[in-house]
Amino acid sequence: MKIAAFQMQCVLGDIGANLERIAAAAEKAAAEGAKLLITPELALTGYGASDRFPSLASPAEGAGPERLSQIARRHGLTIVAGFAEAVGSTVYNSALLTDGQGQTTVYRKSHLYGPYERQWFCPEDPQAVIANVDGVKLGMLICYDVEFPENVRRLALAGVDLIVVPTALPVGWSGRFIAEHMIRVRAFENQVFVAYVNHCGKDENFAYAGLSRIAAPDGNLLAKAPAEGEALLFAEIIPSAFDKSRSENTYLLDLR
């Protein structure tokens, strides 16, 4: 399966404008034969929306997610996009997977990062949220979740081929280390593909590191984005191509 990852500069607080940007990326991705498009954490609202989250939050069947589903249906691919999810008076930092044809999966972030996220969102209990896209078994995490090896291992033990990670990684030495090293290690130690998809640029609250990455089970990078500027990355997800790596690095089989 060919996937696309959209390193994106969001328009803060403007869901309509962000959906237009996602739609343009979806059109390009579909034209290149991609079956899956991944966008960043809170891509519909922008990560730095802060006190606007309560008013921007939407149920998973709300207007913004429905428009995302329409984009997926129009271009014949599956989209994963971060959004602020409202469930009653509770707001989650969530990611929606939709193919526009009836498959809808929601993942809620379990590990909130810092006082900013804890002020605006409720954490969900850690769990394995899995979907099947074009024959590939896919697991979902959001940003800080991937920095806890237990979360990735949970999905690997559940048999996923690919883990998608919408993220909002900030500029800084630790962020660069995560993007350039940790993502490759997570892929290698679990023998899975990892697509880590970040924002770029800055908003009124944060500056983002860019550096989106798609890593293979052998730890090599299939695609990478620069630190600055939007980018649409592509990679082929072929699990059988890494059978040799799995036969040599049998972590999951040897786990006690």
Q: What is the pLDDT of residues 4-44, one digit of tens each?
A: 999 999 999 999 999 999 999 999 999 999 999 999 999 99
Which is catalytic among the residues 10, 85, 117, 143?
143
Task: Indicate if 117 belongs to the active site.
Answer: no
pLDDT, residue 161, reads: 98
Which is catalytic among the residues 41, 85, 124, 147?
41
Share of the chain above pLDDT 70, in %: 100
pLDDT, residue 48, reads: 97
Name the average pLDDT for the chain: 97
Residue 85 scores a pLDDT above 90: yes
Tokens 């984005």 found at: 225
CA angle 147-184-208, nearest 5°?
A: 60
Which is catalytic among the residues 10, 35, 109, 124?
109
Give kind and range of the element (H or E) at residue 156.
helix 149-157
pLDDT, residue 103, reads: 87
pLDDT, residue 220, reads: 97
Residue 102 scores a pLDDT above 90: no
- Are 36 and 1 spatial neighbours (Cβ–Cβ below 8 Å)? yes
3-state secondary structure 34-55: CCEEECCCCCCCCHHHHHHHHH
Residue 236 scores a pLDDT above 90: yes
Q: State the average pLDDT over residues 238-247.
A: 92
Cα dihedral 16, 72, 77, 98 sign:
positive
* Sheet of 162-166, strands arranged across: 130-133, 136-140, 162-166, 193-197, 213-215, 221-224
pLDDT in tens, 58-84: 999 999 999 999 999 999 999 999 999
pLDDT in tens, 110-169: 999 999 999 999 999 999 999 999 999 999 999 999 999 999 999 999 999 999 999 999
Does CATH number 1.10.10.10 belong to domain 2-254?
no
Task: Indicate if 109 belongs to the active site.
Answer: yes
Backbone angles phi, psi at 176, to 5 degrees: -65, -40
Give kind and range of the element (H or E) at residue 252.
helix 251-254
Task: Indicate if 228 belongs to the active site.
Answer: no
The structure's pTM equals 0.97
pLDDT, residue 207, reads: 98
